[in-house]
Amino acid sequence: MNAEPRTVTLPTEDHGDVTLPEPSWCAGHADHRPDSHRVDLTHKGPEHRLHHQGQLLWTVFLGQAPCATAPDHRGVGLYVEQGSYALTLDPNGLYDLAATFETHADRLRALADQLAAILAEDQR
């Protein structure tokens, strides 16, 4: 069963409507702004917020900028943004933070596996 590839058409300020293939992992373009430029068009997967004791440590999601100026920036990758967590910890707090890092490391490894599968599929 060969399904038709998905596409999305997005208005841009500099190139009018631009139609792009839309990867299956893309969460959509609800936040797209019509005053964007073509080089700024991006596909974003679901956002994962990784917390420790209620404070944001990282935000991560699959991303791709298919029209980026630099060809090596056009591929799919995992966007990682560090939050603003800052705190002085005692030994128990450090052990707790380390345990949180281990949990988030497992999640990041799962996302790395997902990214590797997407990239392997793109090579076919």
Domain ranges of the chain: 7-123
Give the model's pLDDT for residue 97: 97
Per-residue pLDDT tens digits for 82-108: 988 999 999 999 999 999 999 999 999
**Average pLDDT for residues 18-30, to the nearest whole number?**
96
**pLDDT over threshold 70, residue 2:** no
45, 44, 72, 49: which is closest to 59 by C-alpha? 49
Tell me the C-alpha distance between 79 and 48, whole Å.
10
Give the model's pLDDT for residue 117: 95
**Average pLDDT for residues 60-68, to the nearest whole number?**
96
Total-model pTM: 0.85
**pLDDT over threshold 50, residue 23:** yes
Average per-residue pLDDT in the chain?
Answer: 93
What does the block give as tokens for 117?
């599968």
Contacts of 67 (CB under 8 A, 6+ apart): 18, 20, 38, 39, 40, 41, 74
**pLDDT over threshold 80, residue 11:** yes
**pLDDT over threshold 90, residue 10:** yes
**pLDDT over threshold 70, residue 1:** no
